[in-house]
Amino acid sequence: MGARVLRKREERQGIYMKRKVISALLACTLLAGSAVPALAAGETAAGQTPAGIGAEAPALKVRQMGVLAVKKAVQEDNSTVRILRRNASAIEGATGGSSSMGSTVSPGAAYSKLADTLEKILETGTLDGDTKKAYEAQIIALRGNAENMNLSVSVQYQSALAMLSQLDDQAYQLRRQADSIANQMAMAAQNLLYTMETLDCQMESLKNGIATLDRNLAVMKVQRSRGMIGQLQLDTVENQRVQLVNSQQTLANMREQIGLSLSQLCGLDADTLVEPSTLVMPYEGELDRINAKTGLENAKKNSFDIWSRRVSLRAAQNVYDKDVSGTAEAVKAAEDQLAVTQESVETAYATVIQNMKDSRVSLTAAQNALTQAQDDLRLASVKYKLGTMSRLSYQSAEDAVKTAEINVRLAELTVAQNYTACQWAEQGVLTLPTGV
């Protein structure tokens, strides 16, 4: 009888069905967990034909995006992130009634009411001795049944509430996990933008190198025709040109694949290619405002990894029993894992700050080298006009400026990327060693 009453009560509160639904959701969540749908460089998107193989690949739609745009797109539209957040919301919705389950009707009320009725009959004094004794026995039994039922259901009910509370915690943990994964993906997407810009610089450098070789080859072919150099020399430089052209194509293919991977991270259509919009350098004042001490405090406070270790430690402490074998070891292990994670966050943050400092030094050096190359070009221009410098030497001075300009742009991209990393680090988003 008690079990049937409990079952009906659970059904009225929605607990019975919620258990099944939530279990299924949690299982799906574990499978979705940390999957990051990104392509590695050199891989092709599903259903796409690599360039130059088989039929001509369909035209791609181009979408220009900056660092803030890809961050927003990943956090809102990435499929993995949306699944995790949807599951968290589903669990929160399923357990939403747990806070309103405090006031209940006593399941033994019917027994108590019947016992009250019998007592009123006894109070009339109209019953004979045997009937009176039977009524008294019935009242005792009814009171006992009511008490036992109330006690049993109370235990089960509290257990159900505890279960729902745990699921609420799990929903919150899942949402924190979704936020952490979203941030990690957003940072990865921004890094891909910087990588694409870096590849552009490298391809521009190769283009300049090919132009230089073309000028040299034109002279060498004349020299070869006059017997001034051997064929081997000419072949060597021509092979160098072929290698540069091949490298240029390799970088172009890699860049396209990164654009497709970035599109997938942003939750865009499979036929969409993301192109970086102009990436703006941070102001010097923004760079100078970076504070390593407060930044580290924020990094530790906002770290999902540290928070997760603390959750594990609290769980181990909650079940700790000095008389139960292994519980003390579990608490100690959780404490050690927390300490290791905190140390890893500190080390990772220190690396981010040092990278920021080093990149600013490198940028200054690149800017100084550009200034020197520009000065050399102005002097070369004068000499060339005076006829004291050959055209090839003057063109070499021009090439030096182009190279220096590319190096400055590469240094600026590194500074911008490291600045972005500092911003993420303060939000607790850091790349920790595997296994931490």
Angle between helix axes 391-426 and 129-225 (nearest 10 degrees) is 170
pLDDT recorded at residue 65 = 95
Q: Are 133 and 60 in contact (CB under 8 A)?
A: no
Which parts of 283-326 fold into alpha helices (H)? 284-288, 292-302, 304-318
Q: Are 280 and 404 in contact (CB under 8 A)?
A: no
DSSP assignment of 332-351: HHHHHHHHHHHHHHHHHHHH
Provide block-wise average pLDDT over 10 residues at a time, the chain (436 residues).
Answer: 44 41 37 36 40 59 94 93 83 58 53 68 67 71 68 58 66 86 93 94 96 94 94 96 96 94 92 90 93 96 94 83 71 93 96 97 98 98 95 94 97 96 96 75
The one-letter amino acid at 141? A
pLDDT recorded at residue 49 = 42
Ranges of each domain in the chain: 280-436
Angle between helix axes 79-94 and 67-77 (nearest 10 degrees) is 40
Secondary-structure class of domain 280-436 per CATH: mainly alpha
Tokens, residue 402: 């182009």
Q: pTM of the predicted model, to two decimals?
A: 0.71
